Amino acid sequence: MWRVFLTGATGFLGGELAVALSKSSSVEKIVCLIRAKNNEEATGRLQSVFAVHQDTYDRNKIVALAGDLMDERLPTVLARYPSMAETNLVVHAAANTSFLQQKNPVIEQTNLWGSQRIAAWASRLRALETFAYIGTATIVGAGKDVVGRMLNEDEAPNPLAKHLVGYTRSKMFGEMAVRAIIPSEKLLVIRPSILVGDTRGIVPRSFDIAWIIAALKHLRMSFGNPDAACDVIPVDYAANAILELLMGRRTHTTYHVSAGRSATTCRQVFNSVGCNGSDRPPLVYLTRTHLELIKRWLRTNNAPDPELSPYSRHLEYVRDQIGKRRARLLLSGLEMYWRFIDLDQRFDNARLLGDTRIGISEPAHDYLKRTAVYLDHIDPLQAAVNP
């Protein structure tokens, strides 16, 4: 029987893992580390995760423990709980996923040093059988050698890799820190690709980066390569795959949980979720040069550059329906995501398919078409300024 310690249970993927683990007959107990002032507040936060889809919260099986990955004393604090000494499965799924540069110090504290703290505590557990580090396939970076192709697990981590944002860099070093602490025979590294939405026809526990699609439906303009590969998977597929890897027989230490050859493209996604066919201007795909001209126009009271004249209807719509200030904020929030799209990366999932019965993920443009109605729940501007 598994006695589990889980971090990240209030997050997008971590919430799905908490519920999935709670339903497993192989799991005896789950202790969830929750950022909160006290255990009562932590319990309330965890219960709200289960309440979203009316899943049963069994107090006899699921325990919320207040704690913070940014607390330097965390390994000592966790060691004070004798009841966790028999933990044999640690699933470290917590992460700060912000792309904002100004948050890099907090991101590093959470994703690098927080991972190191959890691993330091777990390494002293006498009953530990598996330490599962939930990373990200995007730690492979953004150098020219990793653009426009299928990537396998052994191509990362590379400490010399170029990164677009502090998030992916911190996750890379977080994984390296865990590898240095946890014995290889007890380590399981799982790297999901890009998580967007849910296939089950239910409101996702979190909309996470699905706000990007909502924002583009709002703006009617995209500045990334529409035909670049997007290795996107739904959160329920990721959770089910991770559960199979945790509970089953494995022949590797490191796995991508990804779409692989079933990866989609931005154009396919935008077509499937109804970005066209409304009373607003049609979605158009523009260049980075256009983006700079539009940003310049948004900052001034001057007329748009003549090069933008074919898109006068779009600019009128932005000015009159969105507003220049809102448009500036949306473009600022989206700019780094377009750079990620242009990487045109897919992540090989042969190991996952070979060692589990999960099968390939449903293409994103198919499941998002069924669940596109939930994009209307997203305020893209709020998400842009608080990613």
Q: Averaged in consecutive runs of 10 residues, what is the pLDDT profile of the chain (387 residues)?
A: 97 96 97 97 97 94 97 96 94 95 96 98 98 98 97 98 97 98 98 94 76 87 95 97 97 98 94 77 94 96 95 95 92 91 97 98 94 76 59
pLDDT at 382: 65
- The residues that bridge with 221 in the sheet, in sequence order, are 284
Q: Is residue 213 part of a domain?
A: no
Amino acid at residue number 224? G
One-letter amino acid for residue 284 of the chain: V
Answer whether residue 280 is part of any domain.
no
pLDDT of residue 361: 97
With tokens 């199979």, the residue in question is 244
Q: What's the CATH number where 84 sits?
A: 3.40.50.720
User: Is 336 domain-assigned?
Assistant: no
Report phi then psi at 39, rounded to 5: -65, -30
Beta-ladder partners of 52: none
Specify burial of residue 300 (Cβ count, 10 A radius: 0-12, 13-18, 19+).
exposed
Question: Is 285 within 8 Å of 222 (Cβ atoms)?
Answer: yes
Neighbours of 248 (CB within 10 A): 11
Q: What is the pLDDT of residue 333?
A: 87
| Residue 18, domain member (yes or no) | yes
> Within a domain: residue 190?
yes
Question: Is 64 among the domain residues?
Answer: yes
Residue 218 lies in a domain: no
Q: Looking at the domain assignment, is residue 195 inside a domain?
A: yes
Taking each helix axis from N to C terminus, what angle separates 39-51 and 12-22, rounded to the nearest 10 degrees? 90
Give the total number of structural domains in the chain: 1
What is the Rg, in whole angstroms, of the alpha carbon atoms belonging to the chain?
22
pLDDT of residue 274: 77
Domain range enclosing 12: 2-208+231-262+345-363
Rounded to the nearest 10 degrees, how much is the dihedral formed by the CA atoms of 364, 365, 369, 370? -40
Phi/psi at 376 (5° precision): -70, -15
Phi/psi at 260 (5° precision): 60, -120
